[in-house]
Structure 1
Amino acid sequence: MIEATDFRDAMSLLTTAVNIVTTTGTSGCHGFTASAVCSVTDTPPTLLVCMNQTSRSHAHFIENKILSVNVLGAQHEQISNAFASKLSSEERFEYGSWTQLQTGAPVLDNALVNFDCEIEQVQEVGTHSVFICRVVAVRHGYQQSGQQDGTDESLVYFNRAYHQVGQVEIV
């Protein structure tokens, strides 16, 4: 039997992108920092997002059935920390500039990319919910900012610390 701490230690060595996942509905805007996000298929465009069921905003994501995945750049470490903190939902959204795409879920204006999604399925696995999300809109950061200089670096998490990696090359 593998102990949970051994598994977490091993997973800390899996480099992951850092994302802010958001939703909105009658109870307001909510969001959290997530590294457990990945593509499922491109036909139809689908993402998988994992969320701890004990998160205070979990019920809002289930109820709203929409979310956006905002892929963070190197300059977003403070926003990542805010959305991973004990701050209220309102306080979290004071960090960054937010707008919306098709579903109305908040999207971070200068994210590397925004994926606007409808939650099609929810599967409970252990302590987490796995959201299977159909992507209904995508916006690249350079489309919003007008900058195409290839200087953006991605914010990643590795060995329990933030790192910056790569450059986005616009061809």
Structure 2
Amino acid sequence: MDTLTDLVDPAMFREAMSRLVAPVHVVTTSGEGGACGLTASAVTSVSDRPPIVLVCVNRKSLTNAAFKRNGSFCINTLEGNQQDLAEAFAGRTGLSMPERFALGSWVTLATGAPVLESARASFDCRLTDVIEQGSHSVLFGLVEAVRVGSHDSALVYLDRAYHQV
């Protein structure tokens, strides 16, 4: 094993990661870099004082540069019945970005990033730091506003499939 990338077979790593349950989010941004979004499960809190979250965005994603240029993003946690939004923002439907946004009703809070009105929770963030790590950019955001939605079922991803819990 010559490099760190030789430690674990990538296919085996992806298979093992598919066994972890994760909430599904649509992460959005808007500004000079354009309005766009993506489906993400690699989202977590970092700190509550100050409130900081992170989201991992593939460096090859067409949205990556827009998030960095706009300097803000909103993490919208999906309800169990919002698989259509997850599929659309994952790029699996062939819809353009404006068509994807047409699937939901959106507002803005502090940063101007699109906030999904029907989300279980939304975290409106100002981008504070980016760390390039492996295949992804880790975006850190200071939460400037929060919107809490219903307690209905949540959409999660497990074993390469969506589930409602």
- CA distance in structure 2 between the aligned counterparts of 1:78 and 1:40, rounded to whole angstroms: 29
Amino acid at match of 2:160: R
- CA distance in structure 2 between the aligned counterparts of 1:28 and 1:91, rounded to whole angstroms: 14
Aligned twin of 2:55: 49
- Where does structure 1 differ by over 4 angstroms across 4 or more consecutive aligned residues? none
Aligned twin of 1:163: 163
After TM superposition, give the deviation of residue 57 of structure 1 in Å.
1.2
Amino acid at match of 1:60: A
Instruction: Give yes or no for the alignment of 1:21 onto 2:21.
Output: no
Gaps of 5+ in 2: 1-6
Give me the CA root mean square deviation.
1.0
Gaps of 5+ in 1: 143-149, 166-171
**TM-score after normalising by structure 2:** 0.92
Structure 1 residue matching 2:145: 3-state secondary structure: strand
Amino acid at match of 1:126: G
Amino acid at match of 2:109: L
Aligned twin of 2:3: none
Amino acid at match of 1:164: Q
Q: Retained in 1: the 8 A contact 2:32–2:69?
A: no
**TM-score after normalising by structure 1:** 0.89
Structure 1 residue matching 2:95: 3-state secondary structure: coil
Aligned residues with identical type, % of pairs: 48
After TM superposition, give the deviation of residue 26 of structure 1 in Å.
2.4
1:1-171 alignment, distance < 5 Å: 1-85=7-91, 86-142=94-150, 150=151, 152-165=152-165
After TM superposition, give the deviation of residue 87 of structure 1 in Å.
2.7
Amino acid at match of 1:130: V
